[in-house]
Amino acid sequence: MPDFDNLSFPVYFLHILQDNRIGIQFKWNEIKGMLIEIFGENICQKLIENEIVETCSGDEALEISNLNNISFGLSRDDRESLYGSIVNILQLDPFALGIMQTVYASRKTGRLILDSINFNITVNKLENKYINLRIAMAMLLSSEFYYSTALKGISKTAAVHDLPLDSYRSELQQDWFIRIIMLARIDENNGVIYQKSLETGGPDYLNAIEESIITGKIQYMLLHIDDFLHNKMVNDAIAAYEFRKIHKQRIRKFYDWLAIANDVAIGSEFLSGSILFISHKTYMLGIYLFIVASIQLLIKPGIQISRRLQLFKLNHIK
């Protein structure tokens, strides 16, 4: 058993949390509980006395001083022991456990999912609700943790139970799930460089992906991606998504140009009408142009309504 009184252990853990690559930020009140559980009640005082941190107070952000000058000096076995202690706490949270198993199932696609979850947590200000999940996400961004025995131990046998494809019908109606399948397909077959493209906003996305991860659906899909890509129901869902995507682009482009043309016509009619007002001979013609321009002002919201109706109908095409 390693000597967790050695400050190298907590400093290394804090270093991983602070140095994650997708900008997850932690406050002391979010991580103190885990620090104390692993390293004891006096850990924060030790960190302050050794000038590793300036404070461990409340809403203050985690910030390690002189990070580049710190030498951890931990052996591989020491780090494995630390990872094991962290995993033992995190796996009690079903979402945190599920996200560790998801990233282990497919690192590239898992990174995309981490990005999208972090984006939604930040946008919806749900940091307090997902503390353990965010710690797990930060740990997963460390290559050493990803290849650790501790992560392998809780992930190697994950999602081996059979999930019939019929159980995925609700997920296959959601664009974010289709995009995960498509990106997993790219990673498997084409070696295309990973791209961040899953920033689906709103708590509905978080609720949906949380349920899918806790129930093991995403893990199972990533572990059996070939079976998914040869299934007619899945390919029909992908084809419907691609159809909607292409037609959405066409609809948006058409209505954007229509709105521009309408605005140019309105401006031209008001300008021409103002000029015609100068002469009494063309006074009435100017009034007619103002009337036409006013009608086109009423058409302007109609263009937006029509565009939204078209997109709404497209979203509900089976």
pLDDT tens digits for range 58-90: 889 888 866 555 667 788 899 999 999 999 999
Same-domain check for residues 244 and 200: no
Residues 143 and 213 both lie in one domain: yes
Whether 92 and 193 map to the same domain: the answer is: yes
In 3D space, the residue among 204, 208, 214 whose CA is nearest the CA of residue 170 turns out to be 208
Continuous segment of H or E residues that includes residue 272: helix 232-276
Q: Which residue has the tokens 């949380």?
A: 210
Looking at the structure of the chain, the number of domains it has is 2
Question: In terms of domains, do 22 and 58 share one?
Answer: yes
- Determine the Cα–Cα distance for residues 70 and 8; give it in Å rounded to an integer: 9
96 token code pair: 């945190």
> Residue 126, Cβ neighbours under 10 Å: how many?
15
Q: For residue 223, tell me if it sits in a domain.
A: yes
Same-domain check for residues 137 and 209: yes
Q: Could you say which of 200, 230, 260 is where a domain stops?
A: 230
Residue 235 belongs to some domain of the structure:
no
Give pLDDT, residue 277: 75
53, 260, 269 from 57: Cα distances, Å: 11, 54, 64
| Spans of the chain below 70 pLDDT | 1-5, 65-71, 157-161, 186-201, 311, 314-318
The tokens for 50 are 């050794």
| Three-state secondary structure call for residue 52 | coil
In a domain, 2, yes or no: no
Q: Are residues 152 and 273 in the same domain?
A: no
Q: Do 160 and 285 belong together in one domain? A: no
Segments forming the whole domain that contains residue 178: 8-230
Does 209 share its domain with 173?
yes
160 and 253 inside one domain: no
Residues 75, 202, single domain; the answer is yes
Beta-carbon neighbour count of residue 189 at 10 Å? 11
Given this model, what pLDDT does residue 189 score?
A: 47
d(CA 124, CA 38): 30
Residue 297 identity: L
- In a domain, residue 3? The reply is no
| Same domain for 180 and 34 | yes
Q: Which of 169, 198, 230 is the last residue before a domain boundary?
A: 230
Q: Domain for residue 1, yes or no?
A: no
pTM for this prediction: 0.76
Provide CB contacts within 8 A for 98, sequence distance 6+. 213, 214, 216, 218, 219
Can you tell me the distance from the alpha carbon of 21 to that of 139, in angstroms, rounded to the nearest whole number?
Answer: 10
**Domain end residue (candidates: 209, 230, 251):** 230
- The answer to whether the Cα torsion of 80, 83, 89, 93 is positive or negative is negative
Partners of residue 61 on adjacent β-strands: 27
Same domain, 158 and 294: no
Residues 6+ apart with CB under 8 A from 18: 26, 62, 63, 64, 67
Cα 209 from Cα 171, distance rounded (Å): 9
